[in-house]
């Protein structure tokens, strides 16, 4: 079916409606509701106007806690990803709909069924961003509790992904058969319930950055959501992924690479710098800056001045509970604290300035022309297939990107001028799903059999 690939020398964009973290400004008058459907509609329709490939929603199955209490400083409260994406499917026509779903606290039967349902409702625009959340603290909201051994998170995730693919493949010409699969955490027998969509399977995204995570991605995924937007690092990352792809016998362009990024664009470089100043001011409040440090220091720092130097006391090592539910954990606290102190001394940074420095590494800031040149360089070098943008404002945070930057990228011939097709697979330039290709048995994998 789909055999086109990302045209050489172009990039695409995705957008991540975050719903967590201090990257989204809430204290400015232009900041809209985080839960009202209109915020989602406005953002996704802007993205579609800008020919974005995909719209992402995250998943967090327990509200973040900071030092043992509910974390109050960041935006919080998000809808179930697939429910929201099904609603958004009705008000969009081309953009991909990506649901982050973990493989630990979702049963594979309902996960595969709901993703296939979303894929049908959207006419082949669904995707699954696979994550492996396994902590017992999140497990307190689920039947099995924290049943999964951390060491097994990738092997279990891969089991779940293989089983989901087998369930999708157990639907053929309106006939549904069943799949039996087992790993050390149990056996399931699942009958497929819906036809495959025009793109056959939902597209699979994966974000793990460890060596284990990268190997998992090249075995199973279609797109990697990377953490390396800087040009040199993006190049190293792409080379690493291509080598791993070759090792598993997949073509070098078989997995697309989309690093996460923040884009602050204005008419000129100067205006963009001014814009960045007020964005940082709103993102990193004094309280947020101190809470950021408390994750490492493990103790109350509220008596410190956020606009002053870093604390002179050492972290309270191994105290439980930095900010639970954040990716960032207070491991190796002493080493990190020492590194931050020397960085702050070297650059003469206050606490707040240090936090801004540490948290804006994925940012592209500039005037339209200079940013367009910068992105064109990525496109020409082929080190990424696109960027997944986290807007700093909801719902207007893509307006300048779509109105200013994209036309400039199109003028340079590095951004599409129309959607390539109607399915996400077509618009990302992906081949057929791995299990649907010639020569594939469709039934690979440990412990899988079909009836």
Partner 1 sequence: MSRQSDTFTIGIELDGAEVRRLARLVSAAETHGFSFASFDDSASAPANGDALVDSILRAAFVSPTTSSIGLVPVSDVIYGEPFHLATQLASLDHASRGRAGFIVRAELDDDAAAAVAWKTADANEIADEAADVVAVSRQLWDSWSDDAVIRDRPTGRYIDRDRVHYPRFEGRRFSITGPSIISRPPQGQLVVFAPGSLTLAADIDADVVLVDGASEAELVRSAASARGRGAARVFAEIEVALDAAGEPARARVERLDAAQPWASASRLRYVGDSDGLTELLTRLAADLDGVRLHVASLDTDLDEIGYRVLPALRQGGVHTPPVVGNTLRDIIGLARPANRFEEAS
Binding site for partner 1 (CB under 8 A): 26-27, 34-37, 41, 60-63, 69-70, 72-80, 82-84, 86-91, 105-107, 109-110, 113-114, 117-118, 120-121, 140-144, 174-176, 178, 185-195, 285-288
Q: Which is nearer to partner 1, 120 or 336 (CB)?
A: 120
Cα separation of 419 and 417, whole Å? Answer: 7
**For residues 117 and 370, which CB has a smaller minimum distance to partner 1 in the complex?**
117
**What is the nearest approach in angstroms of partner 1 to the Cβ of residue 289?**
9
Sign of CA dihedral 235, 417, 48, 423: negative
Please identify, using beta-carbon distances, which residue of 112 and 414 lies nearer to partner 1: 112
Q: Which is nearer to partner 1, 245 or 393 (CB)?
A: 393
156 in Cβ contact with 425 (< 8 Å):
no
CB of 84 to partner 1, least distance (A): 6
Q: Residue 98 or residue 241: which is nearer to partner 1 going by CB?
A: 98
- What is the smallest separation between the CB atom of 27 and partner 1, expressed in angstroms? 5
For partner 1, the closer of residues 58 and 235 by Cβ is: 58
Of the candidates 212, 149, 218, 210, which has an alpha carbon nearest to the alpha carbon of residue 184?
Answer: 149
Give CA–CA dist 270/362, Å, rounded. Answer: 19
State the DSSP H helix or E strand holding residue 129, giving kind and residue range, or none if neither: strand 126-131
* CB 51 to partner 1: min, Å: 21
Residue whose entry in the numeric block shows the structure tokens 């036309």: 407
Separation CA 28–CA 34 (nearest Å): 13
- Min dist CB 118 to partner 1, Å, is 6
H-helix or E-strand spanning residue 66: strand 65-66
| Region for 445 from its dihedrals, namely left if φ exceeds 0, alpha if ψ lies in -120 to 50, beta otherwise | left
Q: What is d(CA 213, CA 226) in angstroms, rounded to the nearest whole number? A: 11
């Amino acid at each position: 079916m789909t055999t086109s690939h990302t045209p050489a020398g172009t990039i695409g964009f995705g957008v991540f409606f975050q719903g967590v973290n201090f990257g989204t400004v809430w204290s400015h008058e232009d900041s809209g509701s985080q839960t009202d459907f209109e915020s989602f509609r406005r953002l996704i329709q802007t993205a579609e106007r800008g020919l974005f490939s995909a719209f992402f929603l995250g998943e967090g199955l327990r509200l973040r806690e900071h030092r043992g209490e509910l974390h109050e400083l960041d935006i919080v409260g998000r809808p179930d990803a697939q429910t929201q994406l099904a609603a958004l499917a009705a008000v969009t026509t081309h953009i991909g709909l990506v649901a982050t779903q973990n493989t630990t606290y979702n049963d594979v039967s309902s996960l595969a069924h709901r993703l296939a349902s979303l894929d049908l409702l959207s006419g082949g625009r669904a995707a699954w961003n696979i994550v492996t959340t396994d902590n017992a603290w999140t497990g307190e909201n689920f039947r099995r509790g924290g049943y999964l051994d951390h060491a097994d998170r990738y092997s279990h995730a891969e089991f779940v992904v293989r089983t989901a693919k087998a369930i999708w493949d157990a639907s053929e010409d309106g006939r549904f058969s069943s799949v039996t699969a087992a790993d050390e955490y149990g056996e399931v027998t699942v009958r497929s319930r819906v036809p495959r969509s025009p793109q056959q399977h939902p597209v699979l995204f994966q974000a793990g950055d460890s060596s284990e995570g990268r190997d998992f991605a090249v075995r199973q995924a279609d797109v990697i959501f990377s953490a390396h937007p800087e040009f040199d690092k993006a190049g190293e990352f792409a080379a690493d992924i291509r080598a791993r792809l070759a090792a598993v016998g997949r073509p070098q362009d078989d997995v697309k690479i989309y690093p996460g990024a923040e884009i602050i664009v204005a008419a000129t470089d100067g205006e963009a710098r001014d814009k960045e100043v007020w964005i940082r001011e709103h993102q990193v409040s004094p309280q947020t800056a101190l809470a950021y440090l408390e994750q490492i220091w493990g103790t109350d720092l509220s008596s410190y001045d956020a606009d002053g130097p870093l604390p002179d006391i050492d972290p309270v090592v191994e105290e439980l509970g930095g900010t639970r539910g954040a990716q960032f954990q207070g491991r190796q606290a002493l080493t990190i604290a020492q590194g931050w102190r020397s960085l702050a001394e070297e650059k003469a940074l206050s606490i707040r300035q240090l936090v801004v420095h540490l948290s804006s590494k994925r940012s592209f800031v500039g005037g339209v022309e200079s940013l367009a040149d910068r992105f064109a360089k990525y496109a020409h070098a082929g080190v990424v297939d696109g960027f997944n943008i986290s807007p700093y404002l909801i719902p207007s945070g893509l307006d300048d990107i779509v109105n200013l930057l994209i036309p400039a990228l199109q003028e340079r011939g590095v951004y599409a001028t129309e959607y390539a097709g109607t399915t996400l697979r077509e618009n990302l330039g992906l081949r057929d799903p791995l299990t649907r290709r010639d020569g594939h048995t469709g039934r690979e994998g440990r412990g899988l059999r079909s009836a």
